[in-house]
Amino acid sequence: MAQVTLKGNPVQVNGQLPQVGSKAPAFSLVGAGLADVSLASLAGKRKVLNIFPSVDTPTCATSVRKFNAQANDLANTVVLCISADLPFAQARFCGAEGLENVQNLSTLRGREFIENYGVAIADGPLAGLTARAVVVLDENDKVLHSELVKEIAEEPNYDAALAVLK
């Protein structure tokens, strides 16, 4: 169990984020059109997992925008924006913002992802959602970068996450 904060208040997070050098746990989450998208279906691509509570919060929306802006510069890389939002809400947000370089995934199904990736908020007002984290994987799903953001209301370290892909 890890501890982060939400606006300075302690929040418990269940599980442990995958560590650098380890093999990322398999997952299946819900993508566009309610289709299941597995980690295995992205084999051979590098992956940036941008994990956050909801695209309807300012910091989460900012992280999607920033990763979208930098995704074009990343060869053979897919940016996965993972939250509890339904695929319809994720698509509406990206459509309204003109964001086309990220792929949205919902924890609607595949809730084991939340535990297996160590991002399950266990208490506080966001209990049941995911903590803010970034996990970067190589083409073979080896973890290159792993960050559990200590303050949920703050942005991740984009430079550190993307530096492992350059």
Q: How many other CB atoms are found less than 10 A from the CB of residue 100? A: 11
Instruction: Determine whether 60 is an active site residue.
Output: yes
In the chain, DSSP assigns E strands to: 2-6, 9-14, 28-30, 36-38, 46-51, 77-83, 102-106, 120-121, 133-137, 143-148
Among 11, 37, 60, 94, the one annotated catalytic: 60
- Is the distance from CB of 116 to CB of 27 less than 8 angstroms? yes
Query: What does the DSSP 8-state code read for residue 32?
Result: G
The catalytic residues are 60
